[in-house]
Amino acid sequence: MGQAYRVAILGATGAVGAELIDLLEERNFPISSLKLLASPRSAGQTLKFKGQTIEVAEVSESALQDVDLVLASAGGSVSKAWASTAVAAGAVVVDNSSAFRMDPQVPLIVPEVNPDAIATHNGIIANPNCTTILMNLAVWPLHQVQPVQRLIASTYQSASGAGARAMAEVKLQAQAILDGTPPPTDIFPYPLAFNLFPHNSGLNAQGYCEEEMKMVQETRKIFHAPDLRVSVTCVRVPVLRAHSEAINLEFAQPFSVEEARSILKNAPGVKLVEDWQANYFPMPIDASGCDDVLVGRIRQDLSHPCGLELWLSGDQIRKGAALNAVQIAELLIKRQMLRSVAAVAT
């Protein structure tokens, strides 16, 4: 017999919620009961888990009782409204929104990067932004060998970052454009099919959008490097699922391409993808559905003797959101930081 846990997924009907359900089953997460929670609009829907049909319930104070773990992926306002209720009832909340990421009392965790930070949690653990997670997995192993002095990133972000409805809208846009009719723009401000545009989150006084600043601030927090020089440009591209990023790293001393390649080949959560003869490197179509972040095209920066360039693609819904949250939950169990009131046969 092994320990099992009472789990709730908040935001169960969204793209990340669906992925969480799949991952809990796929990874055989020890569950004694599963609650699927969502907004009143989505309540009453039914979803499958391990062959069983579960009805989605409206999130409420009573629904968050008798729960050990809440995996939240319903947006910042929902997390702010309900996380404290869940914690007061005795649950640990792993939150995928931006609501608590920069709260100094809340650890921001990528299990392959800073697992020890989990020890400081007070009931809430934040899941980083998807682009931050993907970038950190590739940069951290190199940073451990020689600290990064400066990091410049350009992202190529798929429709999946805006949710299932955004993915559906891009398909409709593509068909409309091919048919010669105006493409719908209900989710995105502009057509994304056959197009691209700078990330449409709000801009600050310096001209950086919220998505870009998330990568800057979250990386500094995760790396415990508040003065790390980071500059980011985020772009929406007409890809359904999986983000890509071009990363430029500057070190204090030269960092050989061979050493970087060897380090990343053995780094957790990373898969090296490089076929120089075929000019074949990470692509979002290959990264979709993968747990690992695909990293390749590692090369010397021609403009700086201490610079490296690399390219990555990673599944935004999977490792960029749901998988990272489940891995945090698994880390809680491994470190005996999650209560259990039930047992399950193993």
| CATH number for 50 | 3.40.50.720
Predicted TM-score (pTM) of this structure: 0.95
Residues composing the chain? 346
User: pLDDT tens digit string along 266-285?
Assistant: 999 999 999 999 999 999 99
Cα–Cα distance measured from residue 326 to residue 70, given in angstroms and rounded to the nearest whole number: 10
| CATH number for 196 | 3.30.360.10
Q: If pLDDT is split at 50, 70 and 90, which confidence band does 339 have?
A: confident
Task: Write down the pLDDT at residue 341.
Answer: 63
Q: Are 117 and 141 part of one and the same domain? A: no
Are the C-beta atoms of 94 and 68 separated by less than 8 Å?
A: no
Cα–Cα distance measured from residue 110 to residue 272, given in angstroms and rounded to the nearest whole number: 19
Residue tagged active-site, from 130, 143, 199, 234 = 130
Rg of the chain on CA atoms, in Å: 20
| Strands 46-49 and 52-55, bridge-based pairing | antiparallel
User: pLDDT tens digit string along 25-80?
Assistant: 999 999 999 999 999 999 999 999 999 999 999 999 999 999 999 999 988 999 99
Three-state DSSP state, 179: helix
Q: Are 93 and 232 part of one and the same domain? A: no
User: pLDDT tens digit string along 133-170?
Assistant: 999 999 999 999 999 999 999 999 999 999 889 999 99
Residue tagged active-site, from 121, 224, 243, 290 = 243
Find the domain containing 123 and state its range: 2-128+321-344
Q: Are 226 and 102 part of one and the same domain? A: no
Q: Are 113 and 142 part of one and the same domain? A: no
Cα–Cα distance measured from residue 224 to residue 221, given in angstroms and rounded to the nearest whole number: 5
Q: Are 152 and 40 part of one and the same domain? A: no
Cα–Cα distance measured from residue 307 to residue 294, given in angstroms and rounded to the nearest whole number: 20
Q: Are 118 and 151 part of one and the same domain? A: no
Q: Are 23 and 138 part of one and the same domain? A: no
User: pLDDT tens digit string along 15-27?
Assistant: 999 999 999 999 9
Cα–Cα distance measured from residue 106 to residue 92, given in angstroms and rounded to the nearest whole number: 12
Which residues are paired to 3 by β-bridges?
Answer: 343
Q: Which residue has the tokens 């940073």?
A: 143
Catalytic-residue membership of 243: yes
Q: Are 140 and 256 part of one and the same domain? A: yes
Question: 262: closest CA among 160, 345, 145?
Answer: 145
Please state the domain count of the chain. 2
Cα–Cα distance measured from residue 242 to residue 293, given in angstroms and rounded to the nearest whole number: 10
Task: Write down the pLDDT at residue 2.
Answer: 75
Q: Are 106 and 11 part of one and the same domain? A: yes
User: pLDDT tens digit string along 284-336?
Assistant: 999 999 999 999 999 999 999 999 999 999 999 999 999 999 999 999 999 99
Q: Are 296 and 201 part of one and the same domain? A: yes
